[in-house]
Structure 1
Amino acid sequence: MPVPERFVGVGELWFWLLILVATGALIAALARPHAVVHVVRTGGIDVVVLVDGSASMRVRDIRPDRWQRAVDFVRTFAETLSWRDDRVALGLFAHNAAPQLRLTRDPNALFFFLDHLAKAPPFRLEVDTTWDTNLEEGLYWGLRLVEKNEELYGPSANARAFVVLTDGQAWSGNVSKSIAATQRRAIQTYVVGVGTLGGGVVPEPVWPSGYVPAWAEGGPVHSSLDRSSLQEIALAGGGRYFELEREPDRAIALRIIQDVRSRSAAQVREESTELYWRFLMAGAGALGLALMFARERPHLWWQMAAVAGGLAALVAFT
């Protein structure tokens, strides 16, 4: 006697259609598709940090001394930066300037130099040029760092600024000339005062064989923070004046960074984004829907295994 066959319903058709959709989505995900999107982001900043290394920066009116305190601030400043599109250069100055690091996006390069400069500046107390603070020379070499970077890599859309850490003691050079040059290049100068108004005595160097040169004869040299001069320089440079110990280092760093970044134009960039996870999610969703149309138990177990495999692939890819 013939046995009538059961008509396959629409549910079975949907089951296999969803299986095909899920399979296609997983195959597309394995191809690792990409899409180009336009992203609007705030531009980065270029900051040249200039640290005074003259003899007066060894005064201990703030702990451990002015130099080490300035280096600690530079480290905090670097830790506050996002480093996404930001770049930092480092230069030292006394009577002469000593550029240390070109503009770089690598924080490790900056921290390397800070580690080696942590205890004392490279300018020796036994040399007479150390007993002079030539900010004009420091700003000039800061400009040279910016210009050299443009020669190598072309103009940058980043907003630019100088951050000068100094006590303002024994100025020399034509500072107004250098300030005018930075203004022509749209570079703001922020000044961070290091020291106290009460000041302290500059430590005497250990002279070889006890011989004191003629330029070093005389009594102890007292050094105090020249706040008024530093405020004038910051005002002329289009920046702001800050002072260590008056507010936390991170607060000063954040205010400088935000102020400079506010002048940076928004940039539209083309970026490539991966789409594989979207196909994986679509495949997993299709498998889950197919489970609702599975009428036979073997299909159900097979479907559950497929869903588990799809989820495992999703975790592995992400």
Structure 2
Amino acid sequence: MRKFADEPALREIASCVNFKAQTAKSVIIIFALIFCLFALMRPQWGFQWREVKRMGLDILIAVDTSKSMLATDIKPNRLERSKLAIRDLVKRLKGDRIGLIAFSGTAFLQCPLTVDYNGFLLALNDLSISTIPRGGTSISSAIMRAVKSYEGGAKKYKILVIITDGEYHEGDPVRAAEEAARENIKVFCIGVGTAEGELIWTTDKSGKRRFLKDKEENIVKSRLNENILQKIALITEGMYVRSSGAEFGLDLIYERRLSKMERREIKAQMAKHYNERFQIPLCLALTLLIIEPFINDRKRR
């Protein structure tokens, strides 16, 4: 300042300024900015219980866990590729209930119908060929397990997705499909594997890898049986998709059929709704900014 004015002029200028008022104006602006930051942080306190309603389908997914699902004609193998596709499907669900059935010689409800998708994924992660000790493949047991799971529920909105190579050693899948149709369960089948078949690698107790053999010591070759899966889908007005490397089939089923189906209101749940309080610091900031121009930082003569 001394470069632009002499000492008497500086004293004259200083005598006109109210430094306390200037300090107050600066403090007000700083606090206004602080309150604005608080408002942007969206503070919340206090809550109310609100009823949350969901619209969705009931979707049971039955996964073949027999040793034939270790075949590597779909990478990394049939079972692991199936689990990956199911995880991708879960990401698309909004309000639908989903459950998991594991089946080989018999069927087991690995995860009941739920909207807790994280819980479902934990159950899916545990799925392996050792989930069910009994060997073989019984598609009919998977269908009947789904029928039992849906007992007493809604008359429609019931979906069963079966992921398997279609080989079965016991039971009657056609009769089971007819029972599912009577219960208005639509069955969608995904066939994994190839018609040419694939040898199955297993690890013995000593840790050595070798091909799976039957009781007669013949090497087992697992082939895709599309015929039975197509019949099941036809009887229940579902859909059959053959899995391939590029398109597993679950996305196709969801886009063409499931996404277009009528949803029902699933049992409402109570959820905490926290009260937004950003208005309080925002109002304080605006009040301070309104007050600031009215503070006179000039001394009265």
Identify whether the pair has TM-score above 0.5, normalized to the shorter chain: yes
Q: How many residues align?
A: 243
The separation in 2 between residues aligned to 1:202 and 1:75, in whole angstroms, is: 25
CA deviations 1:92-116 (Å, max 9, x no partner) are 1112112211111101111111222
Q: Aligned in 2, Cα 1:109/1:219: closer, same or farther, shift over 3 Å?
A: same
The separation in 2 between residues aligned to 1:207 and 1:301, in whole angstroms, is: 82
Which structure has the highest helix share of the two? 1
Q: Which residue of 1 is the match for residue 108 of structure 2? A: 98
TM-score (norm 2): 0.65
The Cα shift of 1:204 comes to 5.4
Q: Which residue of 2 is the match for residue 301 of structure 1? A: 291
Q: Aligned in 2, Cα 1:181/1:215: closer, same or farther, shift over 3 Å?
A: same
The separation in 2 between residues aligned to 1:237 and 1:247, in whole angstroms, is: 27
* Unaligned 5+ runs, structure 1: 1-29, 209-213, 292-297, 306-318
Q: Which residue of 1 is the match for residue 9 of structure 2? A: none
Q: Which residue of 2 is the match for residue 115 of structure 1? A: 125
CA deviations 1:126-181 (Å, max 9, x no partner) are xxx51x2211111111122222xx4xxxx448711000000012343121221122
Query: Which SS does the other structure have where 2:217 is aligned?
Result: coil
Q: Aligned in 2, Cα 1:270/1:206: closer, same or farther, shift over 3 Å?
A: closer
Q: CA RMSD in A?
A: 4.3
2:261 corresponds to which of 260, 263, 270: 263
CA deviations 1:47-94 (Å, max 9, x no partner) are 111011122112122211111112222222222212xx3111111111
The Cα shift of 1:233 comes to 1.7
TM-score (norm 1): 0.62
The Cα shift of 1:302 comes to 7.8
Query: Which SS does the other structure have where 1:162 is aligned?
Result: strand
Percent of pairs identical after alignment? 23
The separation in 2 between residues aligned to 1:58 and 1:87, in whole angstroms, is: 28
Alignment of 1:192-207 (within 5 A): 192-203=190-201, 206=204
1:141 corresponds to which of 127, 130, 145: 145
Question: For the Cα contact (< 8 Å) 1:194–1:225, is it kept in 2?
Answer: yes
1:86 corresponds to which of 83, 96, 105: 96
Alignment of 1:1-318 (within 5 A): 43-82=55-94, 85-117=95-127, 120-123=129-132, 129-130=134-135, 132-147=136-151, 150=152, 155-156=153-154, 159-203=157-201, 206=204, 216-245=215-244, 247-249=246-248, 252-253=250-251, 255-256=253-254, 259-265=257-263, 301=291
Question: For the Cα contact (< 8 Å) 1:50–1:91, is it kept in 2?
Answer: yes
The runs of 4+ residues in structure 1 deviating greater than 6 Å are 268-272, 302-305
Q: Which residue of 1 is the match for residue 10 of structure 2? A: none
Q: Which moved more, 1:255-264 or 1:47-56?
A: 255-264
The separation in 1 between residues aligned to 2:78 and 2:294, in whole angstroms, is: 68
Question: For the Cα contact (< 8 Å) 2:74–2:193, is it kept in 1?
Answer: yes
The separation in 2 between residues aligned to 1:64 and 1:270, in whole angstroms, is: 40
Question: For the Cα contact (< 8 Å) 2:56–2:264, is it kept in 1?
Answer: no
Query: Which SS does the other structure have where 1:62 is aligned?
Result: coil
Question: For the Cα contact (< 8 Å) 1:159–1:261, is it kept in 2?
Answer: no
Query: Which SS does the other structure have where 1:219 is aligned?
Result: coil
Q: Which residue of 1 is the match for residue 7 of structure 2? A: none
The Cα shift of 1:207 comes to 7.0
